[in-house]
Structure 1
Amino acid sequence: MGRSGGPSRSRTPAATRSPCTIVPEPQLLVFGATGALGRHALESLLARGIDPGTVTATGRNQTRLGELAVDGFNTARVDLSDPGAVAEAVAGHSEVALISSDGPHRVEQHRAVIEAAKAADVGHIYYTSGVRADDERFAINADHRATEEALVASGLTYTIMRNTWYIENYIPSLAAPRHTGVYAAAVGDALVAPASRKDLGEALAVVVATDGHDNATYSLSGATDVTYTDIAQAMSVVLGRGVEYRPVTADELQEILTGIGMDEATAGFLAGLDETIGAGAFARVGDDLTRLIGRTTTGLVEGLTTA
Structure 2
Amino acid sequence: MIVVTGATGQLGHLAIKALLKKVPAADIVAAVRNVDKAADLAALGVQVRQADYSQPASWDAALQGADKVLLISSSEIGQRAKQHQAVIDAAKRAGVKLLAYTSVLHADTSPLGLAAEHKETEAALRASGVPFVLLRHGWYTENYTMGIPGALAHGAVYGCAGDGRISSATRADYAEADVAVLTADNQAGKIYELAGDTAYTLSELAAEISRQSGKCIGYVNLPEAEYKNVLIKAGLPEPVAALLSDSDTGVSKGGLFDDSYQLSKLIGRPTMPLATAVKAAL
1:1-307 to 2 correspondences below 5 Å: 27-48=1-22, 50-103=23-76, 104-135=78-109, 137-237=111-211, 239-257=213-231, 267-306=241-280
Aligned partners of 1:136, 1:227: CA distance in 2, in Å? 18
Contact kept, 8 Å, 1:29 with 1:55, in 2: the verdict is: yes
Q: Aligned in 2, Cα 1:124/1:252: closer, same or farther, shift over 3 Å?
A: closer
Say whether the 8 Å CA contact 1:220–1:285 is kept in structure 2: no
RMSD: 2.1
Q: Structure 1's 267 and 161: CA in aligned 2 closer, same or farther, altered over 3 A?
A: closer
Q: Matches of 2:239 and 2:48 in 1, distance apart? A: 37
| Inter-CA distance 269–130: structure 2 relative to 1 (3 Å threshold) | closer
Amino acid in structure 1 at the alignment position of 2:3? L
| Greater mean deviation of Cα atoms: 60-69 or 156-165 | 60-69
Amino acid at match of 1:121: G
Number of aligned residue pairs: give it: 280
Q: For the residues of structure 2 that align with 1:125 and 1:150, how far apart are their CA atoms? A: 12
Q: Displacement of 1:302 after TM fit? A: 2.1
TM-score of the aligned structures, taking structure 1 as reference length: 0.84
The structure-2 alpha-carbon separation of the partners of 1:255 and 1:122, relative to structure 1 and needing over 3 Å to count, comes to closer
Using a 3 Å threshold, how does the CA distance of structure 1 residues 88 and 218 change in structure 2: closer, same or farther? same
| Cα 1:249/1:46, change in 2 over 3 Å | same
Q: How far off is 1:251 after superposition?
A: 3.8
Question: Which piece of structure 1 moves more, 51-60 or 242-251?
Answer: 242-251
- The structure number with the bigger radius of gyration is 1
Change (3 A) 1:269 1:150: closer
Offset at 1:82? 1.3
Q: Is the CA contact 1:193–1:223 (under 8 Å) kept in the aligned structure 2? A: yes
Unaligned runs of 5+ in 2: none
* Long gaps (5+) in structure 1: 1-26
SS of residue matched to 1:47? coil
Mean CA deviation greater in 249-258 or 163-172: 249-258
SS at match of 1:283: coil
User: Distance between the aligned counterparts of 2:40 and 2:190, measured in 1?
Assistant: 32
Identity of aligned residues (%): 33
Q: Determine if contact 1:167/1:304 at 8 Å carries over to the other structure.
A: no
String of CA shifts for 1:173-203, please: whole Å, max 9, x gaps: 2233212321121111111101100000000
Measured at CA, do residues 264 and 134 of structure 1 come closer, stay the same or move farther in structure 2, by a change above 3 Å?
A: closer
TM-score normalised according to structure 2 size: 0.91
Tell me which residue corresponds to 1:12.
none
User: For 1:265-301, what per-residue CA distance to the aligned partner results, in whole angstroms no more than 9, with x for missing partners?
Assistant: 6655543332122121101141110110011111113
Distance 2:62 2:141 in 1: 32
Contact 2:88–2:125 (CA under 8 A) maintained in structure 1: yes
Q: Tell me: CA distance 1:151–1:265, structure 2 relative to 1, closer, same or farther (3 Å).
A: closer
